[in-house]
Chains A and B, each alone.
Chain A
Amino acid sequence: EVQLVESGGGLVQPGGSLRLSCAASGFTFSSYEMNWVRQAPGKGLEWVSYISSSGDTIYYADSVKGRFTISRDNAKNSLYLQMNSLRAEDTALYYCARDILGSGGYYYYYMDVWGKGTTVTVSS
């Protein structure tokens, strides 16, 4: 069964740091691009970051650029999100999601498998 399990969330003070992990199983992790997506309490979905299968292409949302770092360890089937200089507005449920690149005369992208998420609360 394809599965993604996030961990590492918790309560942290403003300005603090946290490292999230996402353990993948049931598929060849090294062959897939991955994303982090977050959802603030009672709010909609916000894409956070993307990393290619090899890790050589990385993108960030403007809201986290310079503060968050995405990485992966294909040998450990794991995805990470290092979050520094945390702010109250970073409080959210953080999901990792598998990315699919399809083709059929053109390229198309979508996130097909999502974990259950890990909660990050930034508060003093």
Chain B
Amino acid sequence: QSVLTQPPSASGTPGQRVTISCSGSSSNIGSNTVNWYQQLPGTPPKLLIYNNNQRPSGVPDRFSGSKSGTSASLAISGLQSEDEADYYCAAWDDSLNGYVFGTGTKVTVL
């Protein structure tokens, strides 16, 4: 079961900025860093953001992450059609001794 809460959907027109929230608790986001994954249809998840706000090489700087307390957010600026995908937040949970994922947010480009 998902322990981190995300909105089920988000949308925007090309060029707009979209923000996705991720809410957790003291045992996960409150104690550890947050990662974000992008999953295009029919493909495995791809690491988008790690350590709250770090981008792996190759990820455009349109994607940015932040964390405050027990919540985190992912922002996509200059939205493009290829950004249409499912996005998941994730963090290590010290109580469960394992990773917990968010419920997932489907981003639609209108």
Contact = CB atoms under 8 A, between A and B. Distances in A.
A116 B44 contact: yes
A110 B51 contact: yes
Given A44-B88, A117-B44, A112 B97 contact: no
A114 B44 contact: yes
A115 B47 CA distance: 12
A104 B33 CA distance: 12
A102 B51 contact: yes
Interface in B17-49: 32-33, 35, 37, 39, 43-47
A46 B47 contact: no
Residue with the highest number of chain A CB atoms closer than 10 Å, among B35, B46, B97, B99: B99
A112 B50 contact: yes
A44 B33 contact: no
B50 to A, nearest CB: 4
A47 interface: yes
Contacts of B47: 110-113
Interface residues of B, number: 27
B60 interface: no
A56 interface: no
A108 B51 contact: yes
Contact of B45 (A59, A61, A104, A114): A114
A104 B53 CA distance: 14
Nearest to A47: B99
Interface of B: 1-2, 32-33, 35, 37, 39, 43-47, 50-51, 56, 88, 90, 92, 96-104
22 contacts: A44-B88, A45-B37, A45-B39, A47-B99, A49-B98, A50-B98, A50-B99, A59-B97, A60-B98, A61-B96, A62-B96, A63-B1, A100-B50, A104-B51, A108-B50, A109-B32, A109-B92, A109-B99, A110-B33, A110-B35, A114-B44, A116-B44
